[in-house]
Amino acid sequence: MASNQSGIQDWWLQRISAGIIAAYVLLLIVLLLVNGTPTAAQWQALFANNAFKAFTLLALIATFYHGLIGVLHIWPDYIKNAATRATLNALSWLAAAGYALYAVYILFGLK
Amino acid sequence: MSDVTKSKPRPVDMPTFRNIAVSDLARYRLPLPGIASIIHRITGIALFFGLILLLPMLQMSLKSEAGFEAFRTIVWGNPLAKLVMIGLLFAIIYHLIAGIRHVIQDSGKWLDLQVSRSTASAVFVSSVVVTALIVWRLW
């Protein structure tokens, strides 16, 4: 992220990931508004579908990446102390990486 | 310019342009598009760290029928948990709608003050309405 000096790469990735997340969120909202609260069986059947599972993983990875780019751009606007900023950056990376591993485990790991 | 200032005494309430001091913060009001922008940032940060709560809930809801029911009891049975969930739902909806406005403004449209103000209001109103609609449907 720091390697892209002009920010063009972040700019594009932020919008591409936003498009993926928006499509996924809109799909979920439409499903919930149309069908109402799902039962356990309906909810788990939806996530047992491989296409939906793949879309979920894609949307979640896009979310973690989108959030990571976001917070890495926000910290330097408010945090002037270099050590605090480095700590927040490290925590943000750690959170995003942890989320990604956890999401793979939730969707494809052993139950 | 100097003639003007000499001929007339400077009005007390004439605006001066300088960086604001901490003591000015109470009187400083962010314009509406500025409020829309800062809430977009706040909801973004809240969602990024809110995932710490959301991911275990997803895992729980998918694990088993008992897990799904336990998740419902925890979220729907506890007013505080319910409030946090509605807050995160609002954050998603707000961030999405404000994000669309942001992308449109990036393309050079909707930039003059009046339009920027009215679209900022539209973001607030529509995100509250959509959130309320979903909460009402899922209640």
Number of domains into which chain B is organized: 1
pLDDT digits (tens, 9 = 90+) for B63-101: 989 989 988 888 878 899 999 999 999 999 999 999 999
pLDDT digits (tens, 9 = 90+) for B47-61: 999 999 999 999 999
Does the pLDDT at position A110 exceed 60?
no
The end-to-end CA distance of chain A, in Å, is 35
Question: Best of B38, B40, B55 to disrupt the A interface by mutation (most A CBs within 10 Å)?
Answer: B55
- Find, among B130, B70, B61, the residue nearest to B94 by Cα: B130
B109 dihedral zone (left: phi>0; alpha: psi -120 to 50; beta)? beta
Closest residue of chain A to B71, computed from CA coordinates = A40
Angle at A77 between CA A74 and CA A82, to 5 degrees: 100
Q: Is residue B1 part of a domain?
A: no
Closest residue of chain A to B96, computed from CA coordinates = A22
Inspect the interface and report whether the beta carbons of B138 and A37 lie closer than 8 Å: yes
The end-to-end CA distance of chain B, in Å, is 65
Q: Is B76 on the interface with A (CB under 8 A)?
A: no
Please give the structure tokens belonging to residue A69: 């780019």
Query: The domain that contains B98 carries what CATH number?
Result: 1.20.1300.10
Q: What is the CATH number of domain A8-108?
A: 1.20.1300.10
Over residues A24-31, mean pLDDT: 96
Dihedral (CA of A69, A72, B120, B128) sign: positive
Over residues A23-39, mean pLDDT: 94
Dihedral (CA of B6, B7, B12, B13) sign: negative
DSSP code of residue B81: H
**Inter-chain CB pairs, A–B, below 8 Å:** 66
C-alpha radius of gyration, chain B, whole number: 23
B67/chain A closest Cα distance in angstroms:
9
pLDDT digits (tens, 9 = 90+) for B97-127: 999 999 999 999 999 999 999 999 999 999 9
Which range marks the domain in which residue B112 is found? 31-138
pLDDT digits (tens, 9 = 90+) for A40-86: 999 999 999 999 999 999 999 999 999 999 999 999 999 999 999 99
Q: Is residue B2 part of a domain?
A: no
Q: Is residue B47 part of a domain?
A: yes
Q: Is B48 on the interface with A (CB under 8 A)?
A: yes
ipTM of the complex: 0.91
Q: Is B88 on the interface with A (CB under 8 A)?
A: no
Inspect the interface and report whether the beta carbons of B134 and A33 lie closer than 8 Å: yes
Question: Which residues in chain A are contacts of B45 at CB distance < 8 A?
Answer: 70-71, 74
A73/chain B closest Cα distance in angstroms:
10
DSSP code of residue A37: S
pLDDT digits (tens, 9 = 90+) for B5-64: 456 666 677 666 777 777 777 777 888 999 999 999 999 999 999 999 999 999 999 998
